[in-house]
Amino acid sequence: MSAASPTTPPLLHGRYRVVARLGESRLATVYQAQDERLKRMVLVHILRQELAAQPSLRQRFEEEARRGAQRSHPGLLEVYDSGEVGGRPYMVTEAIDGQSLAEAGVLSPATALGVVRTVVGAIALSQAQGLPHPPVSSQNVWLLTGGRVVLLENWRLSPGEVAADLAVYRAPERARGAPPSPSSSVYALGILAWEAFVGRRPFDATTPEAILRQQYQIPVISAARPSIFSPELDRIVGQATAPDPSLRYPAPIDFARALDQYADAVSAQTGRLAALPTARAEPSTFRRQLQRVSRRRATQAAPAVAPPPPPPVIREMPPQTQTIVPAPQVDQRQIDRQIEREVRRQMRRQGCRRAILRRSLQLALAFLVLYGIYLGVRYAYDYATGQLARFQPGEWVSRQIPDLNELLPAWLRDPGATAATYRVVQPINLRSAPTATDATTIVRVLSEGTLVQQVGPPQPDATGQPYEWIEVIVLDSGERGWIANLQGRLERR
């Protein structure tokens, strides 16, 4: 800034005359200034003094200034200029005059719909282009004097107030530590839409824990504001604010499309059809009326019929009728019999498990006894024949213990082999059963480069062919089947 006297406002880069300090946002101190060159009011956002020494926040501010100038949307502030002063980066945006959505109170349904569509469109555009945008909050949505709606960084709240304000719009999965995603942005926009139509926030809690409990009990708009009754609007906003992220719209652009379709539906008009004269007179009189109508249509154009006003979509909620459904008759004796059968079935299962365990222990003990007898006989034979003198006692014992690798099959010795990943080198058939003699078992032909995952031990071919069958899952489609492990067809990864 240039030097200024105590009575002269400072001049930034010889162009922007600072008039007043408005407040601080999350990153910047905001000033109102006069553009001396173009003679218009602007806003100057300068990185806060205590954040200038933090490289990550400085880079983030400069990124917002640079990429903010690349986007153009009526719901976002237009960036005019950027630069650096006193070692602190700044950006210049358009000035605004209005009030926040939180201060506006109850809006008309048409105005609320316009506000929500503008904000959702601004967020959808920013995320589609990978550009930063202000956080979603009714404190950050401003209704300008000319009817325009803008999403901006609010400079009138303290850092503590900002955290409490944004907690209302934080999705349940974000409160549990999940990273931000397009689905969490949809949730914040859904809460903003609910607030715009009802005139208040859906939560009266003040702590994050209490807000998280109330997020699963958001009422529909028609219940919170009975003067608005639109089941389609309740469905759209309810889907956007679903606690489960998999039930929401995948991204803000999908939420924007749903709002556009709803706006088109509520603004559609239906034309009125012209009616012909009714045949109340005699047939000859009716024929003369038709002839006059035909001659009039042939000589002059039919008068334009003004379309009727659009049908009311938002109306009073109809009275609710309570239907009493009789309680089903319960056969208690049948239930008791089912419980007895289930108890007997569980007892049989437990008895079978105990019998299997007992028999396994008996077989293991018998094997140990027989193997001990075998070692005794072998020892006596080696002693009698003089072979025992050639070995140390420990070496002799180790030679009598069989190699487990020779007793176990290959797939059991190497458990990783049953979960191997293969790449198809040459096209090969995926079959529903391990047989190559039936053409009806072919599920599809796996092309070269397809990746498959083995899910079990190999099986020999039932017809005696010199190859094995392995059960696999195709990684690109999830299909499951059998393929023959032919030489040169598969490559293990």
Residue span of the structural domain in which 34 resides: 11-94
Per-residue pLDDT at 467: 86
Q: What angle do CA 57, 120, 155 make, to 5 degrees?
A: 40
Q: What is the mean pLDDT of residues 252-274?
A: 79
Q: Tell me, what's the pLDDT at 307?
A: 45
Estimate the share of the chain in helix, then strand, then coil, as percent rounded to the nearest 5: 45, 15, 40
- CA atoms 422, 426, 431, 436: torsion sign: negative
Strand-pairing partners, residue 452, are: 422, 474
**pLDDT (average), residues 179-185:** 93
| Pairwise CA distance, residues 411 & 117, whole Å | 60
Is 299 inside a domain boundary? Answer: no
* Model pLDDT for residues 458-471, shown as the tens digit of each residue: 888 888 888 888 89
Residue 433 to residues 6, 273, 472, Cα–Cα distance (Å)? 91, 65, 11
CA distance 67 to 64: 5
> Do 160 and 193 lie in a common domain?
yes
CATH number, domain with residue 169: 1.10.510.10
Mark whether 260 and 115 lie in a shared domain: yes
CA distance 335 to 330: 8
Cα atoms found within 13 Å of the Cα of residue 385, Cβ hemisphere only: 8
Distance CA 96, CA 341 (A): 75
Residue 308 lies inside a defined structural domain of this protein: no
Mean predicted confidence (pLDDT) in 110-136: 92
Q: What average pLDDT does the segment 115-137 reach?
A: 91
The confidence band for 5, taking pLDDT boundaries of 50, 70 and 90, is very low
Model confidence band, residue 3 (pLDDT cutoffs 50, 70, 90): very low
Listed range (10-14, 366-370, 382-386) with the worst mean pLDDT? 382-386
Query: How confident is the model over 264-293, as a mean pLDDT?
Result: 56
Q: State whether 167 and 245 are in the same domain.
A: yes
Structure token pair of residue 491: 């490559």
pLDDT at 269 over 50: yes
Mean pLDDT of 430-439: 85
User: 357 lies in a domain?
Assistant: yes
Burial of residue 42 (CB within 10 Å: 0-12, 13-18, 19+) is buried
Q: Name the token pair of 409.
A: 């099959």
143 or 276, which is more confident? 143
218 and 120 in a common domain = yes
* 256 plus 151 within the same structural domain: yes
pLDDT (average), residues 81-108:
91
What is the rounded average pLDDT of the residues 256-266?
Answer: 92
Could you tell me if 127 and 220 lie in one domain?
A: yes
Residues 390 and 418 in one domain: no
Rounded to the nearest 5°, which phi and psi values hold at 486? -85, 150
Residues 480, 394, single domain; the answer is no
Q: Which comes out higher in pLDDT, residue 258 or 266?
A: 258
Distance in Å from the first CA to the final CA of the chain: 64
Q: With bands split at pLDDT 50, 70 and 90, how would you rate the model's confidence at 310?
A: very low
Q: Clarify whether residues 113 and 246 are in a common domain.
A: yes
pLDDT at 303 over 80: no
Same structural domain, 242 and 358 = no
Task: Supply the mean pLDDT for the chain.
Answer: 81
Q: Per the domain annotation, does 18 fall within a domain?
A: yes
Contact (Cβ atoms closer than 8 angstroms) between residue 10 and residue 2: yes
Does residue 321 sit within a domain?
no
pTM: 0.54
In terms of Cβ atoms closer than 10 Å to its own Cβ (0-12, 13-18, 19+), residue 388 is: middle
Reply yes or no on whether the pLDDT at 182 is more than 90: yes
pLDDT in the model for residue 91: 93
Cα separation of 135 and 27, whole Å? 13
374 lies in the same domain as 225: no
Q: Which amino acid is at 295?
A: R
Question: Looking at the predicted structure, is the pLDDT value of residue 197 above 80?
Answer: yes
Question: Domain ends where: 70, 94, 118?
Answer: 94
Residue 90 has pLDDT above 50, yes or no: yes
Residues 233 and 144 in one domain: yes
Q: Is the pLDDT of residue 324 over 80?
A: no
Q: What is the pLDDT of residues 23-78, one digit of tens each?
A: 998 899 999 999 999 999 999 999 998 988 899 999 989 988 888 887 888 999 99
Instruction: Indicate whether 325 belongs to any domain.
Output: no
Within 245-331, where are the H helices?
Answer: 252-267, 283-299
Number of domains making up the chain: 4
Which pLDDT score, from 0 to 100, does residue 38 have? 92
Q: Is residue 226 part of a domain?
A: yes
